[in-house]
A and B are shown apart, each in its own frame.
Chain A
Amino acid sequence: GQQLNQSPQSMFIQEGEDVSMNCTSSSIFNTWLWYKQDPGEGPVLLIALYKAGELTSNGRLTAQFGITRKDSFLNISASIPSDVGIYFCAGTSYNTDKLIFGTGTRLQVFP
């Protein structure tokens, strides 16, 4: 099935470091969302973006909707152990709610 290109695939960082991950698509998206998934649980919505160029923060998380409408990034500042998990980007095209997901970025945080 269709998936967005998400990078990096995995990250191993030290507590307190900043993290950046991004997501690209070959087609234009109308909405970009970022979810976090912990083992045995469903994805939890972190940030939703609805306009090209939009920059939105949620605590230590910041995400941007790319100007070309074909990419998005997520930054996490001052990482903590509970940031461990898999981060997924997802997008929707115009006039559909069907979410297309990225391949995921697995984040490990060491004390």
Chain B
Amino acid sequence: DAGVTQSPTHLIKTRGQQVTLRCSPKSGHDTVSWYQQALGQGPQFIFQYYEEEERQRGNFPDRFSGHQFPNYSSELNVNALLLGDSALYLCASSWWGTDDNQPQHFGDGTRLSIL
């Protein structure tokens, strides 16, 4: 049973560039959430996708956008990169369902460094 997988594991970019991160959810899950984790802090919610639509969004600028594909996989895009965007980007998946008891399971993240 494959868990949440993310690619790439590490990425180095320069200011002003654009980046795309990818996530495949755990088998049986249909909902993907993205989080940003700065060094020494807890993860911060960016947004959540279900049925190929953005369902919830955290306090992040429009430079952060996403997409979900029919196979439930997802991409996170960040435009006009800033030094402050350097962080571990985590993807979490869950099952939308009708039951509230659906904890999110995380991948190992993509470490993004901005030079």
Binding site for B on A (CB under 8 A): 1, 3-4, 30-31, 33, 35, 40-45, 48, 50, 88, 90, 96-104
Instruction: Judge if B76 is at the interface, Cβ distance under 8 Å.
Output: no
28 contacts across the A-B interface (CB closer than 8 A): A1-B44, A1-B58, A1-B59, A3-B42, A42-B4, A42-B106, A42-B107, A42-B108, A45-B103, A45-B104, A45-B105, A48-B101, A50-B100, A88-B42, A90-B42, A97-B31, A97-B56, A97-B102, A97-B104, A98-B48, A98-B58, A99-B35, A99-B43, A100-B45, A101-B43, A102-B42, A103-B41, A104-B40
Distance to closest chain B CB from A46 (angstroms): 10
Q: How far is the CA of A48 from the CA of B103 in the complex (A)?
A: 7
Partner of B56 from the list A1, A43, A98 (CB cut-off 8 Å) is A98
- Quick one: given A1-B44, A104-B42, are A99 and B104 in contact (CB under 8 Å)? yes
Give chain B's interface secondary structure class: loop
Q: Note all chain A residues with C-beta closer than 8 A to B108.
A: 40-42
Cβ-defined contact, A42 with B109, below 8 A = yes
Give chain B interface residues in 25-79, CB to chain A under 8 Å.
Answer: 31, 33, 35, 40-45, 48, 56, 58-59
Cβ-defined contact, A97 with B44, below 8 A = no
Partner of A103 from the list B4, B42, B100 (CB cut-off 8 Å) is B42
Instruction: Judge if B94 is at the interface, Cβ distance under 8 Å.
Output: yes
Cβ-defined contact, A101 with B42, below 8 A = yes
Cβ-defined contact, A42 with B90, below 8 A = yes
Distance to closest chain A CB from B111 (angstroms): 8
